[in-house]
Amino acid sequence: MNEALLNYLLDKLRRFGVSSSNQLSHVTTYTRELPISLDRMYENAIDGEHLPYLHSSTFSYIDILESGPWGWRAKAGLHPRSKLTDMEIKLVLNKDEFCWKTTTLSGLGKGTEIWTHAIPLGENRIKVIVDFYVPKLPAILKDFYAEYYIATYEKLYDEDLMMMSQRQQALDFKKASTNKENAATLALGNEKEIRSQLPFTFEFKQHRFVINESNGELVVYSAMCPHMLSPLENETLDNGVVECPWHAYRFDVKTGECVSGQSCRLKTPPALSIDPDTQQVVVKELS
């Protein structure tokens, strides 16, 4: 049976079953220790925009209706996309209580509440405790829902951990690079050697850049998305455009312009030249 249809039918059974009580049933608890900071976890929680990109196998789309430091409210759908799995969800962050609540306001799973607590254990280490509550849940469905939530959140946190860790590494790099002094010119190596290592990443003037090939020409551009510093060096160029793997922001690598409509642009790269005699690839700070 189609997964979207199965989810829909089970939810119909729950919502329109014989029980008239709307009391929330505690389905299960998911716990996990993560080697990241509380700041990265909070940042991740209120970033609803990344759901259909980083978690494309779980979410098919999201339409943010409102957002802020408090959290967000959005229309969303599960994968594969179907009107049967459309929903409206709201996440509210409460830093005073080290937690956030995700509520399904309408659609698939209406009335469901997911409470997540993030407990600091030490520097760059937290424990997340996630409790799942579903209204009008027949006892016959409890084990199915519990297995579904545990499996889904295990996968979501695997993917989120990758994103949070990479962002922390990018922030640490920027902090460590603040007081570095770099030469205005940097020789990177022979063109043939560089081409054999594409995409080729290097550091220059406290920033990471990448050299890649576009229509047979070597181009240099930022290796970090300006939005949240996601890594761009391993993303495929499509007609000179690179796409952020976390939020699908798209950039023209030659101009740095964000062609997907967001108000940000890639950091201006150094000029790249190839010595006609030695075939050495050199980057130079723009004057």
What pLDDT, in 10s, does the model give residues 85-113? 999 999 999 999 999 999 999 999 999 99
Query: Are residue 139 and residue 9 in the same domain, yes or no?
Result: yes
Query: Are residue 36 and residue 165 in the same domain, yes or no?
Result: yes
Domain-embedded: residue 99: yes
pLDDT digits (tens, 9 = 90+) for 231-267: 999 999 999 999 999 999 999 999 999 999 999 999 9
Residue 19 in this model has a pLDDT that exceeds 90:
no
Who's near 203: CB < 8 A, 6+ residues apart? 177, 182, 209
The CATH number for 270's domain is: 2.102.10.10
pLDDT digits (tens, 9 = 90+) for 30-39: 999 999 999 9
Q: Is the dihedral of CA 95, 99, 100, 103 positive or negative?
A: negative
- Which amino acid, residue 128? V
Domain final residue pick, 129, 151, 175: 175
Domain-embedded: residue 241: yes
Query: Are residue 119 and residue 205 in the same domain, yes or no?
Result: no
Domain count, the chain: 2
pLDDT, residue 36, reads: 97
The CATH number for 22's domain is: 3.30.530.20
Domain-embedded: residue 180: no
pTM comes to: 0.88
The boundaries of the domain holding residue 268 are 185-284
Query: Are residue 98 and residue 228 in the same domain, yes or no?
Result: no
CA dihedral 178, 183, 188, 189 (to 10 degrees): -150
Query: Are residue 120 and residue 260 in the same domain, yes or no?
Result: no
Query: Are residue 125 and residue 152 in the same domain, yes or no?
Result: yes
